[in-house]
Structure 1
Amino acid sequence: MEIVLTDRGGPEKLRIADTDAPEPGRGEVRVRVLASGVSFAEVQMLSHRYPMQPKYPFVPGYDLVGEVTSLGPDVSGVAVGDRVAALMVTGAWRTHVVVKAGRVVPVPDGLDTGVAAAATMNGVTAWQMVHQTAEVRPGQTVLVHGASGGVGTLLVQLAVAAGATVLGTASSAKHEAVRALGATPIDYRTEDVATRVLELAPGGVDAVFDHLGGDSLQVSYDLLADGGILVNYGSATTLHDNNHWLVPYLRTMRRFASWWLAKPLGKARGRRASFYYVKAGPAFNHALAEVYRLVAEGWLVPPIDKRLPMTEAAEGLRLLIAGKATGKIVLVA
């Protein structure tokens, strides 16, 4: 079984199809998928707004947790029966997948499969941005846009654990959840975010994590204190733009270029702007192992809004599009 995105449109464009279990090739393993997350990337793919996405039809699914069922030639360090995770970008929403053995990461014994799925892409994204891109330190103040989302909830927890004061934007219905994570909520629907941030942090913030893109980037950059960093990891506000998917990214590059040029001119005040995107490889594997350790030890809790059968992937996308999810929506086999 596989979930196929047949064409541009909404969740109704998903179809359930039969498929055979593929055989792994040299250096590959076959994995029976147990769980996979629903992410904003799939929402963008509905409208053909995700960078370099495949042509329709294709199988979505950014990440997975599953059980190894078969090994190809020249595979070592992985055994049949191992529970593993992998970053796929597309192709995870099916019963079985084939993936290179070097791209699978062991899932600790005792860690719930759905929780592991909720922590895979989102956990690495948040961990790398907090600890490697922004290098959040004790005493700093950071702003997390979308603090109730799948990545946002983990950004808040990791920044709080790093000793930072965290401000987080969210709708009013999700403020209690954001407070419970240790952040001060700001209602992006009824408050002027920039005004409220400067009331709480008059000197500006040391880091902003911005998944919104578009015009939000200038506002975020202007909120930085001297030496602060803006980390952009998405373009959610451009989802419904009526142009080529590349246009928002070109506009963002121009904006970033102006900030980079301000540095040699002495106008940057030490402020920086950085792109982030999650990618498979040794760095991802290392970060995911650390994320799983934090989750297993109870230091990091990936909130799961709903667990749905994989056959209900369309409903998961509808919930995400409607903004009704707090934390991650997980599809289970």
Structure 2
Amino acid sequence: MTMKYKYALIIAQGSAKNLVIVEDDIPEPAAGQVRVKMQAAGVSAADILMREGIYPIDPPSFPFIPGYDIVGTVDKCGEGATKFQPGQQVAALTKTGAYAEYVCIPEADLVLLPAGVDPVEAVSTILNYLTAYQILHRVAQVKPGEKVLIYAAGGGIGTSLIDLGKLVNLQMYGTDAKSKQQVLVDMGVTPIDYQSEDVREKIMSLTGDGVDLALDPIGGENCFRAYSTLREGGKVVSFGVSFGLQGETPSLRDVFIWFNAALSLNLIHPTKKVMTYAVSLFKKENHDLYIQDLTAILNLLAEKKIKPVIDRTMPLSEARKAHQLLDDRVVKGKIVLVPGS
């Protein structure tokens, strides 16, 4: 008798109502793949952007299984996959597919989990901390003591940027709603309530001449606001389009128009820069650095040098509810799905 497994499937573009739980035969790993039994899968804003049909980098076709990151145990190795053994704990950036009890993943994408690391904490570092680490060190190349403004600082990637920024003694300011301000204060960041304060005016009053780096996961018009907070020689790193989740959903064409408009800012000022980053594209073009950086992050977790902010864990069967919580913008840190109902 063939064993069954459950997974979450987004059947069409639109709201969280389009996410359903499906039961099917357990997949067999192809050559070079490893079948992983999921212990924890992260829920992210990127999943929501894909569900809404406005994820800009190689978006999946509907229907698809969401899930950008996974931690689990090796269950079965396909032909030619010899690097890992059944029972070992592994982690991977999957982009899609992780909301499932079993997932077949290319062996080359897997990283061994350090001993003693909690799977829920580990999965909370994969997408968020990998993004944060590469933005800070591969793209912006931050220096100790620099002044950094983080937009949406109370979210999963925002809190990851803060946690890693503390390791290099960055002076950080974070924007978010009042309901998330205490999280920022607790992490040692100067909070800015974007709903009641003018962010640029606040930054200039706090710094005198602006910040060295502004980190923008929102995109659209916000990239121009981020640019206005820079001092001479400052940089904006734009790495998201969550503006598409606020109000009326834009078309993918609108997303690219805003993206190109933001890059045009590089023509305005000789010392200020707008840079872009996409974790899936960086992984595709720099696979060795993906393995190196994810390994480094998991080691930082094992050494207790970082502590991801976890909003809650939820069973896989409640994936739709997890999406609704992100839609409602009430999540502080990361939501993690675990097997079960």
Q: Percent identity?
A: 34
Alignment of 1:134-283 (within 5 A): 134-239=140-245, 240-256=247-263, 258-262=264-268, 267-268=269-270, 270-279=271-280, 280=283, 281-283=287-289
**Aligned partner of 2:8 among 3, 7, 15:** 3
Q: Which residue of 2 aligns with 1:80?
A: 86
Q: Which residue of 2 aligns with 1:91?
A: 97
Q: Residue 303 and residue 243 in structure 1: after superposition, are their counterparts in 2 closer, same or farther (change >3 A)?
A: closer
Amino acid at match of 1:70: K
**Aligned partner of 1:132 among 135, 138, 153:** 138
SS of equivalent to 2:9:
strand
SS of equivalent to 1:287:
helix
Shift of 1:315: 0.9
Q: Distance in 2 between matches of 1:242 and 1:322?
A: 15
Q: Which residue of 1 aligns with 2:3?
A: none
The answer to whether the 8 Å contact 2:220/2:262 transfers is no
Q: Residue 242 and residue 328 in structure 1: after superposition, are their counterparts in 2 closer, same or farther (change >3 A)?
A: closer
Q: Distance in 2 between matches of 1:242 and 1:211?
A: 16
Q: Distance in 1 between matches of 2:249 and 2:321?
A: 25
* Alignment gaps of 5+ in structure 1: none
Amino acid at match of 1:6: I
Shift of 1:202: 1.4
The answer to whether the 8 Å contact 1:157/1:182 transfers is no
Does residue 119 (structure 1) correspond to residue 125 (structure 2)? The answer is yes
**Aligned partner of 1:329 among 300, 317, 335:** 335
Which deviations, in whole Å up to 9, do the C-alpha atoms of 1:62-95 show, x marking residues without a partner? 1111111111122222111111111111111111
Q: Distance in 1 between matches of 2:153 and 2:257?
A: 26
Shift of 1:160: 2.2
Shift of 1:261: 2.8
The answer to whether the 8 Å contact 2:262/2:274 transfers is no
Q: Which residue of 2 aligns with 1:291?
A: 297
Shift of 1:163: 1.4
Does residue 24 (structure 1) correspond to residue 25 (structure 2)? The answer is no
The answer to whether the 8 Å contact 1:145/1:152 transfers is yes
* TM-score after normalising by structure 2: 0.93
SS of equivalent to 2:25:
coil
For the aligned residue pairs, the C-alpha RMSD in angstroms reads 1.3
Amino acid at match of 1:208: A
Q: Distance in 1 between matches of 2:166 and 2:49?
A: 30
Aligned length: 327
- Tell which deviates more after alignment, 201-210 or 237-246: 237-246
* Alignment gaps of 5+ in structure 2: 1-5
Which deviations, in whole Å up to 9, do the C-alpha atoms of 1:119-140 show, x marking residues without a partner? 1111100111111211121221
Does residue 13 (structure 1) correspond to residue 53 (structure 2)? The answer is no
Shift of 1:242: 4.9
Shift of 1:3: 0.6
Q: Distance in 1 between matches of 2:265 and 2:59?
A: 29
Which deviations, in whole Å up to 9, do the C-alpha atoms of 1:124-158 show, x marking residues without a partner? 00111111211121221000011110000010121
* TM-score after normalising by structure 1: 0.95
Q: Distance in 2 between matches of 1:146 and 1:278?
A: 18
SS of equivalent to 2:24:
coil
Q: Distance in 2 between matches of 1:128 and 1:178?
A: 21
Shift of 1:9: 2.1
Amino acid at match of 1:253: N
